[in-house]
Amino acid sequence: MERLLTEEFLNKYRNAKSPLSHIGEFVYLRTYSRYLEDKKRRETWFETVKRTTEYNVSLGIRYKEKMGLPVNMEEEKKEAELLFDRLFNLKTFTSGRTLYMGGTEVVEMYPLSNFNCAFTNIEKFSDLVEVFYLLMIGSGVGVRISKEMTAGFPKVRHVMLEGRYDETIRARTPKEDMENTVCLLDRNNGSNAVILVGDSKEGWCDALRSYFNLISLDEYKDVARIVIDYSYVRPEGERLKRFGGRASGHKSLKRMFEKINKVVNRREDGMLQTIDLLDIATIISENVVSGGVRRSAMMVICDEDDYGVINAKRNIYRYADGKWIIDKEISHRRMSNNSVIYYNRPSFEKIKEIIDSIKINGEPGFINGAEALRRKPSFEGCNPCGEILLRSKQCCNLTTNNLMGFVKGNVLDEEELKETLRLSARVAIRMTLIEAELPEWNRVMQEDRIVGVSLTGMMDMVNKTGLSYDGLANLLGRLREEVHNEGRRYCAELGIEPPKLMTTIKPEGTLSMLPCVSSGIHFAHSNYYIRRIRISASDPLFKMIEAQGSYPVYDENGTSDGGSPIKVIEFPVKAPEGRTKYDVSAVEQLELYKLTMQNWTDHNSSITVHVRENEWDDVARWLYENFDYVVGITFIPLTEETYPLLPYETTTREDYEERVSRIKPIDYELLASYDNSDPHDITDADCENGVCPVR
């Protein structure tokens, strides 16, 4: 294939000053910059943009060639140049997952690893195996667990489970012979079976599949003892060449099987319940986090009367002897956020009950299944953040557009914004042209291509331009029409069915930090504030920051001897003059959500509504009266800043300016001297913070 980006074009950007804000450059290096083994350093923003751009545009070219469609390379080069420019200058973004994975060898081998999130019903054991696979390749997963679906599971048999590990076997076995899982029945004793776990993602999945088969299929009804042999699994700390990082060893996998078997054996009649499936799914997620992926995102969606699942996380902790103690038997339940799905509007009393539970426990969330079905008749569930309406076996890869990137002076350049939204629609559509490695997921993707064009920096833009809510509603309507028109046009060019739903609002917690704008449709914390980010003390990026001395650094709460494994870095942030989250009522935030749902959003608008202590009744009343406009909303108490090292803390203009004066540019040579290819935990990337844990 001809080069999409010429040296002449690239030279205009190669040595240009990075447009990333100071906090943006830090977040980029921590989250999206890949380690270049041949150069012994991390990528620069220029290199990441080049890799991402060439990957995305090449997807369209390869698809056209495969389908025998004409390819105009001059137009494709113009497309690549436009995407490079808008991405480099922080006006539009591919998904964060594509920023990190796009154009790598891994994506060619595991195409689904480029998708941030996925959803599946849990109707059979193979669905749980696919959850395991998706989490291992780095996707977040939403799952639907219902009483009706659970009743369709086969009866399971109680088995004795044993683990075996011989570290000498790897030394005398060829590598290619250790990748696949083998399941063997003892010829002399039909009650014994051995699962020899293959040393690969596929091998681990096949081992879990074999276990489920042995406890449920009639052909294995005599099996009473299963030995799982982990001898092929590479030892802890060994470097992983494909996905990077280091192996977790066999212990977390062994613990996963032991915990799952304990769940299975607690049912005397062999009939699994919904709470058992929640436990199995979250045990799988716990194992993945213990391994090389580091982070997983999971949402469990349950029936409105499934109180076992609704209350699953109530007793994870107990208070004794002056401290909170975790119940290790159910600690895995922390791995999911749980939501209840309603297909009819609940009573006002029920909505108050929901709101009270969210106020006290943060959960469960809720989904209005009726409105979701109205918007998407094939709706079955959603991704962990809840902004995309999905069928079972469906995944999503979303794009983002920074509205503040189009404000010049105090005026929004609507024409440039529209051009960029058309580009963003094409970028999103191209992501659906891959062939997924899981056959059923590939079939669904080709039948129903998920596109989600999102906006961020909205309220910063409103503050900067002085746009009224009526003006915002009209603008969003025009922009949505632009996306749909271009989506239909481009799909016709590709000979594919256009998606009916194309627009959304993501949480935008991470990508929004690159240009340092308000996330999604949220107001900024304050006009001047401190943004605190947690990072591992062993991370080379932290070591460089500490050596430079540009930012205040503290030990995590509860440690003061300088030896804390988690450090807290303080970044000064300035937002445009105007209203902040402390100036806006909960009901006004809800009305803003409704405005976007009516004028921009096809799927769902992700929003975390900050609620004052005296506003919870108003929130319940608004929800009851406006339930038909709602798909899903998150709520969090709005409290005054009361404890040390909060993620956000208001400051003064003088303090902001004094802090900025001490900032030095990132020293890439110094960073390279500390750096290596090991992964480092993104310690504060949690759904609750509006930050996606999926890198």
Give the residue ranges of DSSP H helices in 466-582. 469-494, 540-548
pLDDT of residue 416: 99
Q: Which pLDDT score, from 0 to 100, does residue 249 have?
A: 87
Indicate the fold that domain 528-574+641-689 takes in CATH.
Answer: 3.90.1390
Question: What's the pLDDT score for residue 321?
Answer: 80
Residue 659: count other Cβ atoms within 10 Å of its Cβ.
20
Least confident of 67-81, 321-335, 593-607, 652-666: 321-335
Give the pairing type, strands 394-396 and 117-121: antiparallel
Which of 276-290, 471-485, 555-569 has the weakest average pLDDT? 555-569
pLDDT of residue 361: 87
Q: Do the domains spanning 7-115+397-518+581-606 and 528-574+641-689 agree at the CATH topology level?
A: no
Count Cβ atoms below 10 Å from residue 512 Cβ, excluding itself: 27
- On whether the 7-115+397-518+581-606 domain is CATH 3.40.50.10310, my answer is no
Q: Which helix (H) or strand (E) holds 349?
A: helix 348-361
Give 40-46 contacts, CB < 8 A, sequence gap 24+: 40/672, 40/675, 41/668, 41/671, 41/672, 41/675, 42/668, 42/671, 42/672, 42/675, 44/18, 44/668, 45/18, 45/19, 45/20, 45/88, 46/10, 46/13, 46/14, 46/16, 46/88
- pLDDT per residue as tens digits for the range 10-44: 999 998 999 999 999 999 999 999 999 899 999 99
| Total residue length of the chain | 695
The tens digit of pLDDT for each residue in 133-168 reads 999 999 999 999 999 999 999 999 999 999 999 999
Tokens of 280: 């199995």
Percentage of the chain with pLDDT > 70?
94
3-state SS track over 625-641: HHHHHCCCCEEEECCCC
DSSP letter, residue 180:
S
- pLDDT of 558 reads 64
Average pLDDT over residues 366-387: 97
pLDDT digits (tens, 9 = 90+) for 497-516: 999 999 999 999 899 999 99
Angle between helices 22-31 and 45-67 (to 10 degrees): 50
**359-381 average pLDDT score:** 96
Check residue 691 and give its pLDDT. 52
| pLDDT bucket at 561, cuts 50 / 70 / 90 | low
> How is the chain split into domains, by residue range?
7-115+397-518+581-606, 117-153+272-395, 155-268, 528-574+641-689
Q: What percentage of the chain reaches a pLDDT higher than 90?
A: 85
Q: Which residues contact 265 (CB under 8 A, 6 or more apart)?
A: 158, 159
CB neighbour list of residue 135: distance below 8 Å, 6 or more residues apart: 141, 284, 285, 288, 293, 296, 298
Determine the pLDDT at residue 689: 47
* Whole-number pLDDT of residue 190: 81
SS3 of residue 652 by DSSP = coil
CATH level 3 topology of 155-268: 3.30.1620
Predicted pLDDT at 375: 98
269-278, 425-434, 584-593, 674-683: range with lowest mean pLDDT: 674-683
- Tell me what the mean pLDDT of segment 430-450 comes to: 97
Measured CA to CA, the distance from residue 235 to residue 168 in angstroms comes to: 11
Residue 688 reports pLDDT greater than 50: no
For residue 60, pLDDT beyond 90: yes
Q: Which residue has the tokens 């503290």?
A: 554
pTM of the model: 0.94
CA distance 514 to 22: 9
Across the range 248-274, mean pLDDT stands at: 96
